[in-house]
């Protein structure tokens, strides 16, 4: 899923200063699962904003709407009947959803209420961690399921750097060294000889370095 984190309240309240009718948007997908911008978080943030503004003597009207997805046109379209009743949209969807709503309703400003952070997994209830950076050319076959692009702070492809100590990454003592994990995995699967295969320099043009990416399936286009 795409993982996000709610922005600090101060920052949100500052963005909302000029507005008094707010459409607060949530999303039922990734940001619901990572508890950053689903219906529950929308309700809590709306309540916090109302309390703050009421206390300031500048009350706000907030409509809380959580779309099935903010990254698909059919759901974004459902905002049409009422979006113009508001001064601004504050979105708790990921960065994709925030932009997509803005693209559809060009007369509206769509403000971000979350910082979109990474593609990750739920390691345990309330704990999410990064696993993939969408490099566009997956090497998980070579590293037996541990991503060196994401899980190594330096995205190294041929063994660890000199800072790998006792299985821990030198960048952060709470992060396991990705290459330790990979070597352990080779051993576990009796495939340590794979470690000797030299990986050529990675072509990063399939990643962000090649600019924004687009995927087209002609057979599905209408």
Partner 1 sequence: MRLSYPANVKIVKVPCTGRVDVIHVMKAFENGADGVCLVGCLEGDCHFLVGNLRARKRVEYAKQLLDECGIGGDRVVMYNLSSAEGQKFAQIAREMTEKIRELGPNPVKSAKS
Q: Which residues are near partner 1 by CB under 8 A?
A: 9-10, 40, 43-44, 47-52, 54-57
Give the nearest distance from C-beta 198 to ligand SF4 in angstroms.
16
Residues paired with 24 in a beta bridge:
64, 90
Q: Work out what residue 177 binds among partner 1, ligand SF4, none; the CB cut-off runs from 5 to 8 Å by kind.
A: ligand SF4
Candidates 161, 185, 172, 62; CA nearest to 113 is: 62
Distance in angstroms (rounded) separating the CA atoms of residues 48 and 26: 15
Site membership for ligand SF4, residue 194 (CB under 6 A): no
Residue placing its CB nearer to ligand SF4 in the complex, 171 or 192: 171
Give the nearest distance from C-beta 32 to ligand SF4 in angstroms.
23
Candidates 109, 75, 69; CA nearest to 90 is: 109
Of 50, 63, 104, 154, the one binding ligand SF4 (CB under 6 A) is 154
Residue placing its CB nearer to ligand SF4 in the complex, 162 or 190: 162
Structure tokens that stand for 40 in this block? 């529950």
Site membership for ligand SF4, residue 108 (CB under 6 A): no
Q: Work out what residue 97 binds among ligand SF4, partner 1, none; the CB cut-off runs from 5 to 8 Å by kind.
A: none
Give DSSP secondary structure letters for 129-180: EEEE---SS--TTTTTT--HHHHSTT--SSS--TT-BTTB-TT-TTSB-HHH
């Amino acid at each position: 899923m795409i993982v996000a984190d709610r922005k600090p309240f101060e920052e949100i309240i500052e963005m909302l200063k000029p507005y008094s009718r707010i459409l607060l948007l949530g999303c039922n997908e990734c940001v619901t699962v990572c508890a950053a911008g689903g219906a529950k978080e929308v309700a809590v943030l709306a309540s916090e904003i109302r309390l703050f503004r009421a206390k300031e003597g500048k009350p706000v009207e907030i409509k809380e709407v959580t779309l099935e997805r903010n990254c698909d046109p059919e759901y974004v379209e459902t905002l049409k009947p009422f979006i113009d009743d508001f001064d601004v949209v504050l979105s708790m969807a990921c960065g994709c959803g925030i932009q997509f709503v803005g693209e559809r309703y060009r007369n509206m400003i769509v403000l971000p209420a979350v910082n979109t952070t990474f593609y990750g997994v739920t390691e345990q209830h309330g704990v999410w961690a990064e696993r993939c950076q969408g490099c566009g050319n997956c090497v998980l076959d070579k590293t037996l399921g541990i991503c060196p692009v994401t899980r190594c702070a330096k995205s190294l492809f041929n063994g660890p750097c000199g800072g790998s100590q006792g299985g821990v990454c030198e960048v952060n003592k709470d992060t396991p060294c990705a290459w330790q994990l990979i070597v352990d995995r080779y051993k576990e699967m009796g495939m340590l000889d794979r470690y000797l295969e030299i990986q050529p320099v990675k072509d990063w043009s399939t990643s962000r370095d090649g600019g924004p990416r687009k995927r087209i399936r002609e057979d599905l286009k209408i």
